[in-house]
Structures are given as structure tokens and as C-alpha cells.
Amino acid sequence: MKATFLGHSCVLVETKQHTIIIDPFLTGNPAASRSADSIRADVVLLTHGHNDHVGDAEQIAKANDALVVAPNELAVWLGWQGCRTHPMHIGGAHAFDFGRVKFTPALHGSGYELADEKRIVYMGMPGGLLLSADGYTIYHAGDTALFGDMKLIGDREQIDLAFLPIGDNFTMGPEDALLAAQWIGAKQVVPVHYNTFPLIEQDGDAFVQALAAHRMDGKALAPGDWLEL
């Protein structure tokens, strides 16, 4: 399994038979390493309905006839836009042909901004997700604050790779993400959702050094970098 960081919170996962993109915010993302029209994917996974996570989901899904898996309200809305969707919700899991997906809690918001209309479309509850395929499990926390049930996720799951937001302001910052990493117990941790914009500037390498000080493995990926499991 190969996981490529494409910038912000977007991750491209390649399994033996499928390609899965998570939170594909590429257009309008100053840190993106790929354009939306360059993406070939079978599946689009979405954690919540904010613009910087939904991003190019509709374009990618339609161009590739990809299945969109998302929290219920977001999936319904994208279905109305003409996408092929599978709605889920927090605590629910489903086995697909590409792997197993389970949605976890996240403490955040979820609304899609239609700026021209000065309107926000409610997209249900935000989540994180566990993707299991090829014998590995990836945890993408989505946008979230630190919360105690991360301990439960770590106790119940054997996580090979975790993507945790560290940007602060809108999500947990590095200090809380460090504690989250301890609770989750992933074999490897990658910081995301930082340095895209000035408001969420952080030092990813310093975060990885803090992980190492607590005997945890991590890597700060530049957009376009990847890890192989």
C-alpha cells in the first residue's frame, strides 16, 4: 500500500487493486502537488463538508465514475449533484470491494460555503475514518480537536499509519496532536492540515521530533511525498 500526501489534508492511497483519494482539496490549494484533472481514482472518501475537504470531490468522482463515501448528509448532497455515492455515519462500518471503511467521531463542524449566495449548506456531523485494505489500517482523523475517545480508537484498532491535523486555530495544534498520537498508538504518524495558509503555519519537523522524544515514529511529508506500508 502506498500513501501519497497531496497537500493540506488530501491523501492518495494506492492498494494492490484500487486508488482512493481522501479529502481532495486541490483546486485553490496553494500547497497542492497535483491538479484535480490529473487524478485517477476509484473511490473518493470525505471526512466532512467543509470546502477545504470536499474540494474537487465532485469533479474527480464524475471524471472517474468513482464512488464517493461520505457522512450521510454530505453523500446525499453530492448524490444530488450527480455523483455515485454511499452514505455512512459515525460508528458505522462497511466492507467495500476496495477495503473496509469505518467512520469515527471528530470534534469540528461541517458546512459547505456557497460564497456567491452567502449561504452555508449543513453537511451533517464531521468524522474521521479508518480505512483497512491489503492487511493495513490507515486512520485519517479529519479535522478535529483532541478528544478522549481517541484512546478507545487506539485500544480497539491496530493502526499502521495515522494522519493527524496539527494546524491549530481550526483543529488541534501540535501539543494536542502529540497526545492524540500517544493515545492512538499508530506505528507511524504524519502531520496534516498545516502550512496551507498563514493562519495554520506550524513546524512539521518539530512535531515529528516531539514524537521521537516519546518513542513514536513519524514523518513530515511535503506535498507529493509518499510512504509505503
For the segment 200-216, the average pLDDT, to the nearest whole number, is 98
**Residue 60 Cα to chain centre, angstroms:** 16
Q: Would strands 136-140 and 127-133 be described as parallel, antiparallel, or unpaired?
A: antiparallel
Q: Which domains does the chain have, with CATH numbers?
A: 2-219 (3.60.15.10)
DSSP conformational letter for 73: H
- Write out pLDDT tens, residues 114-141: 999 999 999 999 999 999 999 999 999 9
Residue 15 confidence class, pLDDT cut points 50, 70, 90: very high
pTM of the shown model: 0.98
Q: From CA 211, how far away is CA 205, in angstroms rounded? A: 10
Amino acid at 139: Y
Nearest CA to 45 out of 170, 130, 118, 121 is that of 130
DSSP conformational letter for 25: -
The pLDDT of residue 102 is 98
Nearest CA to 43 out of 96, 105, 102, 110 is that of 96
For the segment 77-105, the average pLDDT, to the nearest whole number, is 98
The pLDDT of residue 229 is 96
- Are 202 and 173 spatial neighbours (Cβ–Cβ below 8 Å)? yes
Residue 70 confidence class, pLDDT cut points 50, 70, 90: very high
**Residue 134 Cα to chain centre, angstroms:** 19
- Are 195 and 9 spatial neighbours (Cβ–Cβ below 8 Å)? no
What is the residue-averaged pLDDT of the chain? Answer: 98
- Residue 63 pairs in a beta bridge with none
The pLDDT of residue 135 is 98
- Are 196 and 23 spatial neighbours (Cβ–Cβ below 8 Å)? no
Residue whose entry in the numeric block shows the C-alpha cell 492524540 = 180
Q: From CA 178, how far away is CA 196, in angstroms rounded? A: 20
The pLDDT of residue 67 is 98
DSSP percent split of the chain into helix, strand, coil, nearest 5: 25, 30, 45
Q: From CA 128, how far away is CA 55, in angstroms rounded? A: 17
The pLDDT of residue 4 is 98
